[in-house]
Amino acid sequence: MKKIGVTGGIGSGKSTVCQYFELKGVPVYYADDRAKVLMISNPKIIEGVEGLFGDEAYNSDGALNRQMIAEKAFYDQSLLTKLNEIVHPVVYSDFDEWCQIHKDQPYIIKEAAIMLEKKDQALDYVIGVIAPVQDRILRILKRDPQRNQSQVQGIMDKQVSDQLIKDKADFVLYNDNETKLLPELNRLHSFFSKL
């Protein structure tokens, strides 16, 4: 089984690309979504997050206090690094277990925003998704109306750059209104299916 990564900045169209592969019957592991689940269910993560952010890291109902954590970690790179050091190893182990369930598949997809900044665990190929900044902002504002353009730009500024994607991804998909994604996705699916 080959492991294929899909990455890109917020609003670039990672989910759209992954939905295509799901429609083709390819298992997709959404690392960021899975991390959210593990942050409220994995005792090791809960203990680490409480140690880092204090008792207010979780609400009385056990839900993660996302707003407080985001506000603190967004402006403190060392705090964000420590949070990632708590969460990422557990997500990697979870991904390995998930891969065992799907080991008979020709290939699987792992979707994650953080992938190219450091070598991800044993991915055979990485697909980077790029979209024009204004398209990304409009998509995010439509999807998350509680955000404003300044907040979205701040998030984008902290994420993987298009240049890093171009430099390090094995395949680059341009998700704009001019490029036809479907022929590219069909070509990639055919390629990965034959590995």
Annotated binding-site positions = 11-16
Neighbours of 86 (CB within 10 A): 18
Annotated binding site for ATP: 11-16
Give the SS3 label for residue 3.
strand
Nearest to 112 by CA among 1, 9, 2: 9
Task: Give the distance from CA 15 to its chain's centroid.
Answer: 9
Give 28's DSSP letter: E
- Report, in angstroms and rounded to the nearest whole number, the Rg of the chain calculated over CA atoms: 17
By residue count, the chain amounts to 195
For tokens 């022929």, what's the residue? 183
Nearest to 127 by CA among 20, 45, 40: 20
First vs last Cα of the chain: how many Å apart?
A: 9
